[in-house]
Amino acid sequence: MFSCRLIHDFLSMAPFADYLDSMYYSRFLQWKWLEREPVTKNTFRQYRVLGKGGFGEVCACQVRATGKMYACKKLEKKRIKKRKGESMALNEKQILEKVNSRFVVCLAYAYETKDALCLVLTLMNGGDLKFHIYHMGEAGFDEKRAVFYAAEICCGLEDLHRERIVYRDLKPENILLDDHGHIRISDLGLAVHIPEGQTIKGRVGTVGYMAPEVVKNERYTFSPDWWALGCLLYEMIEGQSPFQQRKKKIKREDVERLVKEVEEEYSSKFSEDAKSLCKMLLAKDPSERLGCQGDGASEVKAHAIFRSINFKRLAAGMLEAPFIPDPQAIYCKDVLDIEQFSTVKGVELEPKDDSFYSKVSTGNVPIPWQNEMIETECFKELNILNLDATVPPDLDWRGQPSPPPKQGLLQRLFGRQLSQSAPCCVGSRGTHGSAGL
């Protein structure tokens, strides 16, 4: 710690002063200026509808300047106001902005139009896990594939919990696949930040995936996420949820009774390791649950089922996924089957709503924007510095002529009048002069 302080103190003196006088600092300021440029609907090209969110459609979009593709989640202003969803929308935006994880969808831009607030997110073309579990042949996955996804979800939860965020809505439809077959956690509308040393309560989530302590409305921290991971791993292997059967109507009260009281059953599809992990994650008592005994995600990663997973390589994106989506396929229901949102009636937008809109529509998110500049090679193309350490023309302020001083209003008005009357004066003089001759 002391050595770090010494290095910091040294760098903050002459080296930093030299940097401020260098062309590298000028180039840094150019990039920061570009990063802070306003973001509007004209920043993007809009493409087809991908699906529906809680407050509006989700469409594919492309940044005009770089060609990078994203998903644009539209939150209709009137629909938000009618459902009193302001705090939920702002909470999701702020959490997405805070988390920078390979395993959680990334917020790159946030802007507004006349009718909607728009969150521009990572585009995930591979569909969601629910589609892959139930609509790609026999329900469920082989164990190797299920374990790979469980490992990536574990890493995503670890990144969220590191920021003291509990997700609370882990289920197959919220886990999306990218072009390379890797997953990201999406839809953070129910996620919430838990201050250090505190607990929260709230019966929120999806029936069948809510932990016993949530169903009982008890206080908790991160335990519901590890329970939901157990539910999801079970569903990926078995091809159905542990506490409710697909397409079979069962009352909410009955599902909650099963969650609180009944042990799940395991078929021959489960290896001993898979059965062991599910049982440890689905412990009714959160104090006995894997992931809740002090070491969080490290406890889960240490389970024998993950012995073949190198988590450091996984976190670096260096492991190949067991399934690579076909770029020509569409892994979702037909777009024509996506129900249209009805028109919101009886709601009027007011000037006082602008304060909320300004908190959401904040423009670029720095890290994702910088990554976009690198990935699309805009940084490489524009960040030209001479090899001989001479200053590039666009940074050589000394060779540029000084801009003319700005004129005041009176100067501009009188200047315009003089320029308009000048030809008349010249003509008059010429006439009188020739007459005198």
Here the tokens at position 113 are: 């139009």
* Tokens found for residue 45: 């090209």
Exactly one of 159, 169, 187, 225 is catalytic; which is it? 169
166 three-class SS? strand
Say whether 82 counts as a known binding-site residue: yes
Are 232 and 175 in contact, with CB atoms under 8 Å apart? yes
Q: 335: how many CB neighbours lie within 10 A of its CB?
A: 11
> Does the active-site annotation cover 225?
no
Provide the 3-class DSSP secondary structure of residue 269: coil
Bridge partners of 58, per DSSP, are 51, 73
The residue written with tokens 């920061």 in the block is: 32
The helix or strand, by DSSP H or E, that contains position 62, with its residue range, turns out to be strand 57-63
CA dihedral 314, 320, 326, 327 (to 10 degrees): 70
Listed in sequence order, the residues at least 6 apart from 134 whose beta carbon sits closer than 8 Å to its beta carbon are 239, 246
Q: Report residue 51: phi and psi, to 5°.
A: 175, -160
Q: Are 291 and 222 in contact (CB under 8 A)?
A: yes
The residues that bridge with 60 in the sheet, in sequence order, are 71
- H helical segments located in 116-206: 129-134, 143-162
- Rounded-to-10 torsion of CA 398, 403, 404, 406: -140
**Using CB atoms within 10 A of its CB, is residue 44 exposed (0-12), middle (13-18) or buried (19+)?**
buried
Residue given tokens 């300021």 in the structure block: 29
Backbone angles phi, psi at 138, to 5 degrees: -60, 135
Find out whether 227 and 211 touch, Cβ atoms under 8 Å. yes
CA dihedral angle for residue 180, residue 241, residue 208, residue 273, rounded to 10 degrees: -80
Burial (CB < 10 A; 0-12, 13-18, 19+), residue 343, is exposed
Q: Which residues are catalytic?
A: 169
Binding residues for ATP are: 82
Binding residues are: 82
